[in-house]
A = this chain, B = another copy of it.
Amino acid sequence: MSVGRETRLSAWIERFAAHFAEEGIPLIGGRILGYLLVCQPSERTAAELSQELEASSGSISTNLKFLVNAGLVTKRTRRGRQAAQFRIDEKRWADLVQRKLDALVSVRDLTESGMRLMSGDPERAVRLRAVDDLYAWLATELPALWDRRPSSTSR
């Protein structure tokens, strides 16, 4: 007896959310992202998400706010007594990745200022220099690579 596609998609959404939970995104926020990436039709109201993901309306609201704020989800309001529709803005996913890369590169600021504090004592700076060299390389290469990305419109 085989498992239906929707069931397998639910399991996929759960794995998807679990991955991002490890990176600090709340579990429910990750579920919303995964669900909005694959649901048909592509728009959902907060109430629908709440029912579909079995999460409280409060949690859905809080997480949607977070995701909209991060730019990953778009809120579309409509006239009349109608619920707002939420959909994923998959083009903004690159921003998420870029923030990750930026965070990595930003360590360079720390190592650099540390090196400045150690100027005049090269012996003592040896260990920090090794780390600084690594981040200096990242700080030049990663942004350059990012610009070469197929659909890069800006940095």
Contacts and interface: CB of A to CB of B under 8 A. Distances in A.
10 contacts: A9-B117, A12-B110, A12-B113, A36-B127, A37-B114, A37-B131, A38-B117, A101-B104, A137-B150, A142-B145
Interface residues of A, number: 49
Given A38-B118, A38-B128, A93-B131, 10 more contacts: A8-B117, A12-B114, A15-B110, A16-B110, A19-B106, A19-B107, A19-B110, A40-B121, A101-B104, A142-B145
A55 interface: no
Contacts of A8: 117
A142 to B, nearest CB: 8
